[in-house]
Chains A and B, each alone.
Chain A
């Protein structure tokens, strides 16, 4: 019985939260990696683009709520995602036309494009803060929990409760659908294959008649889809605050590089690697050992490897270690 309790404890505090957080990171990391692989620059505006998409989704959510449209136990934000994606795609294409296109056609070095993306970061951040303001916003409605800790305890008779928030389930389900569709698109369709070809060798791809304009446009549209959905999922699960979104860019970058930048599948797994290691290393295992070990061997301290303050630092340290020993990432990305 104690063993089951210990398992439920780990499920509740480590596995479910890490899986959710990892999914959110994974979507962002695929976004970074696609831009890097096809447009060939590190996009420092990642976090702010996500917050822009989320902002649009919030406005649509408010509008739907005001006209009385809800999804019952599901959050209304899910309805607003397609509309937000439309806006986001438009925004991305406008930015590309007025900013990135010039440098792409001039074949500027990636560093210059990264600098330009910092300019885009500043502008997007300003737009978001001017329109919606810098404060914390919650836009979640519907049923909050799928399983409450108390109900679970009563149901199973265990000491430990397992609470599963509906946003966690939504995040994981949406991620699975989104990522599998994306991989299907990249690997099976003609357009997806030509994107891969373009990413591998631009000149050869051009020679074989692939239209670069189309590739770039599709990349931005996919990026818009990923940014909006990733941002909305994070905002539903936690809350929407422009500053947090900007900060989330850092673990997202870590996930993309750990997975091997330019490799979407690597980025997907990288998100989970980062999320699980952050949570595993900063969790206090005292209670777990109390269940598993006999009473005489119970630990005194918290059995915490690192204090939770260092949560972000963990992912960055992993990144540094990966860069040191395997610069192309765990799952071979572009050769650096």
Chain B
């Protein structure tokens, strides 16, 4: 009796150890298996993996999934820390500093497939001239307008200048139409686009000046914030927008209750589903004086290779990335994700409503503060969003928002 109990205990312990060993290994046990932690959902990613397996029958990709953003970042971080990171994973704005500085990702600079990737996407996931992530697409957000509501006041598109845009908003208000809504639960699209337009014309860039200590947020951001605050001080937009998220703003637009909103291509399907007859189109954010219309946006997260993976696995991972950057791979990727791809040997076909922003994506005329900031990205982003909400409520002036960012940068 005692012996059988001992045997059972030993067997249980052996099973536990072997299970733990199985779980603990980041790399697949099979030499032909590549492990991959996907940011994209299984429904969209599996056809891409199937296409890769068809083109490379000797390699099987064993994918696991974690939804963006926080859950993905935490899952990957835990696996990196415990030495069980997959062979291929996504490098994003939220983890690029830690992954690059910690030496967790392979330098992809000289890989042949990187020749197809535009500089804008390479720089996003690079450091000191080296590139650590392969980003094959970008996204942009601008203004989405209801063609019929604008036509009521004699406009066929959003004006190119901010002053003209404010005049149009007043005319819409006079006609009993809510002119504009922008969710401010994240960095406002308008502010991102204006800062981006300014930075695009600068050398060194606006963020290089701020993060090197040659300039400050107060100097660079205050004029844009003052213009943005006119929406609220002049009564064009109600202060209640601070309680709205992107989905609420989208629903107001889909129901024809607002003429212009901030949005990206991710709202297109939901709006078409809710209001099939609604006529709408995207436009860049109107320009401030001396500026040009611009758009918020960034390179999508890049594929990165685990530096701790064996040489064989790294070679297989490079084959995987080579396929993802190939016209065949990009075609399946575009079909599944609807992203605007940026590789040089594939021409994407974006939704007609999104055409006005697609060219800017291909040219890399995009800006998102959180991506462009050189450190403390999320710390500054949380602070900026909260302070802009306070500015809209009248609790702090535009210079106060910028000063708060300077203080945060100094203390983090």
Q: Do A and B come from one complex?
A: no
Interface residues of B (CB under 8 A from A): none
